[in-house]
Chain A
């Protein structure tokens, strides 16, 4: 689910930024604001980071979708990110203005190092109590449920609406988009998101490679975060997305999607939940795959489900075990379905620092197997993950603090 607060990023950006600041002359030449004579306030600064590094073994060693090849064994530090945000209160009515910038490491096989940087957050945000406007690049608004795999891009073709304009080389192109989004809320629990996106078009299969190529509406419910392990249904949502795919690539596609998180066992110490999301696309007339990209825009149904057990003695997470299943079938392309499983374990070693491990298996039916490097793919990963967040010059309360949720205070 999309959150207001900044998330994900890369330490390189911070180091580069700090080095740049250190080298500034005494009178820095900065970008002028539209009203340059107005001095700016010292904003609230938030830095969020997440790093994940795993030793990874794949068998058999298969080529990546879209080219390149994954080694049988490698060090994988993709999906690590650093985000820097600045916020300040606006003059009246509790309005908050924010700027967020961030990069994430991507598993881009075209990069000679095997890992590239991807600008995944670059947006401005204006929010008041009942309303939020986002303009820039950020998480796609079509992601309803977050699944408990190690990385956000694991099993991504099952867990959300894929990007039909992506060549398939960089899964970050599924997760982030350029967008204008307006989100209205009721009680900061029910959210109606109306958005138009430019999904990154690396295939040229959109009508316009830089313009709006996808738009839709998403409705979600998000319960009180602290009660996520106690409410029976802490999250659910659904939406519809219209994707303007060029006629030469099978034509426009309509995606209908919905998801839910359901607590099988509501318990502050031993939580057991199931997560489910289904995405059904229709309208595209592709009947055969000539490239990996075709599989992203062909009419299909994707379903993902996970079962997760979280043990939190003393009210704090200690370890988590999860099984995630995915199935994707195509309406018009025979013998092309694929399914996957991921078994994930996480042991918390300290606040935000985890020992992580995951086994994944994915099977492709005969028609698509050649495109994806074989029918059966296995991967084993073990490593560490670290997430942190810090706020400087703190003077703005989190938008979805319990004070806001229960008492409807304007963040001040």
Chain B
């Protein structure tokens, strides 16, 4: 969950164009032995001079997105394989997941704003995939939209993404092929673009940095749909062995058409779209039954650590399809960034909404020793397959709680 669990488990290659020092940055400047106060103090480390004036040009990219790297610029190179693998949400609960490098969420990438990112995507599943860089100002061909900006990446095929990391902030990436399925199935991860001029770090000198990716899954839907995709993929793989059979492949078989005219012509020739009642019957609703933080549901979520007086940064990422309302017990916190960009003024909250496709950065100050629940306040999402408690919940745990007099040990409850 924290930065200390990020890059070490990932397949990361860093290189410098035309020589130089390989670099992968992470806010991982997190300093576990930093000046955390061991006792409560009324003095805050928060600086009071936050000032971000309105800048009409703020939405413009700092670098022209269609530029190419020039000698001397840093390029961080990552290998990403899409795998089909069982993912365990909880003990005895698995679902067949699509996973970047075999983990859900995928590897967390951290780079400095302005550096280049090269990602070598290799698809090892019998389905199609891409990577969409959500919130990043990439050139259009790198945006990862199948049939929109690129052809989807098939089994054993590769695609190389190359773009400059901008703008700074908390962003994420996900597969854009059949998004409602592939994101539920696990194809998402976080990319953090750091700036040396990060106003959050300047005004809130935090010492630890956590990333919480919020998502949900209908495990029955995912299993059923991935099976359907595997069926189609198996047929195509088999057909690809025979030029004669491949000649039979048509847009109608796949539901792919070069234009609206081609689509209409297919209908006139007898092809029936999959959405009409004679083909689909009644649409089966997607009903998420597990709600996750970083791919795990309570009680298997990792807790957040803090000490009295410490400032920590928590990056909340709405990677799924449902809004979540993250509430922290016993504390107010500062909402400092939205969708990667610093707010003009930090907003004091104790419940922050995280909508699908958005990111929200908050700063928590260690002001109230104890073990505190931090959870989605949409109560449906506090269940595991309908059983409560569970779901999208973690704990803010003070490392010096006992020294402050808090003696209650955390008890894991699975049946309230």
Please report A residues at the B interface, Cβ cutoff 8 Å: 92, 224, 226-227, 230-231, 266-269, 313-315, 350-351, 394-395, 397-398, 401-403, 406-407, 409, 412
Which residue of A is nearest B228, CB measured? A402
**What residues of chain A lie closer than 8 Å to B279, measured between beta carbons?**
351
Asked whether B94 lies within 8 Å of A226 as measured between CB atoms, the reply is: no
Contact A267 B231 (CB under 8 A): no
**Shortest beta-carbon distance from A349 to chain B in Å:** 10
State A9–B118 Cα separation when bound (angstroms).
58
Q: Tell me which of B224, B238, B244, B271 contacts A394 (CB under 8 A).
A: B224
Given contact pairs A227-B238, A230-B245, A401-B223, enumerate 5 new A-B contacts (beta carbons under 8 Å).
A227-B234, A227-B235, A231-B238, A269-B248, A351-B279
Q: Which residue of B lies closest to A406 (CB)?
A: B230
Instruction: Give the distance to chain B from A305, nearest Cβ to Cβ, in Å.
Output: 26
Contact of A350 among B86, B253, B271, B278 (CB under 8 A): B278
Which A residues are in CB contact (< 8 Å) with B271? 314
Which residues on the B side are within 8 Å of A230 (C-beta)? 235, 238-239, 245
8 interchain pairs, CB-CB under 8 A:
A224-B234, A226-B231, A230-B239, A313-B252, A314-B252, A314-B253, A315-B252, A403-B230
Q: How many A-B residue pairs have CB under 8 A?
A: 70
Q: B258 within 8 Å of A by Cβ?
A: no
For B154-194 the 0/1 string (1 means CB < 8 A from A) is 00000000000000000000000000000000000000000
Interface of A is mostly: loop
Select from chain A the residue with minimum beta-carbon distance to B244: A267
Q: How far is the CA of A395 from the CA of B226 in the complex (A)?
A: 14
Given A92-B92, A314-B271, A412-B95, CB of A268 within 8 Å of CB of B239 = yes
Q: How far is the CB of A229 from chain B (nearest CB, A)?
A: 9
Cβ contact within 8 Å between A409 and B86: yes
Q: How far is the CB of B124 from chain A (nearest CB, A)?
A: 12
Contact assessment for A226 and B226 in the assembled complex, using a CB-CB cutoff below 8 Å: no
Cα(A269)–Cα(B279), bound, Å? 19
Cβ of A398: which chain B residues have Cβ within 8 Å of it?
Answer: 227
B29 within 8 A of A: no
In the complex, A157 Cα to B399 Cα: how many Å?
79
Which residues of chain B come closer than 8 Å to A350, judged between CB atoms? 278
Q: How far is the CB of B265 from chain A (nearest CB, A)?
A: 13
Q: Which residue of A lies closest to B241 (CB)?
A: A230
Is B96 an interface residue, CB under 8 A from the partner?
yes
The chain B residue sitting closest to A388, CB to CB, is: B281
Identify the B interface with A (CB < 8 A).
84, 86, 92-96, 126, 219-220, 223-224, 226-227, 230-231, 234-235, 238-239, 242, 244-245, 248-250, 252-253, 270-272, 278-279, 281
Known: A314-B271, A350-B278. A268 touches B253 (CB 8 A): yes
**In the complex, which residues of chain B have a beta carbon less than 8 angstroms from the beta carbon of A226?**
231, 234-235
How far, in angstroms, from A403 to B98 measured CA to CA in the complex? 12
Q: Which residue of B lies closest to A349 (CB)?
A: B278
Shortest Cβ distance from A394 into chain B, in angstroms? 5
Q: Which residues of A contact B281 (CB under 8 A)?
A: 351
Cross-chain contact B234 with A406 (CB below 8 angstroms): yes
- Report the minimum CB–CB distance from A97 to chain B (whole Å): 17
Complex Cα gap A393–B310 (Å): 48
Q: B235 to chain A: which residues have CB within 8 Å? A: 226-227, 230, 268, 315
Closest B residue to A44 using CB positions: B220
How many Å lie between the Cα of A355 and that of B92 in the bound state? 47
- Contact call A402/B227, Cβ cutoff below 8 A: yes
A226 to B235, CA, bound (A): 7
Which residue of chain B lies nearest to A229 when distances are taken between CB atoms in the complex? B235
Contacts of B84 in A (CB 8 A): 407
Chain B residues with Cβ below 8 Å from A227 are 234-235, 238
CB closest chain-A residue, reference B96: A403
Residues of A within 8 A of B126 (CB): 406
**Least Cβ–Cβ distance between B23 and chain A, in angstroms:** 38
Docked complex Cα distance between A401 and B84 (Å): 15
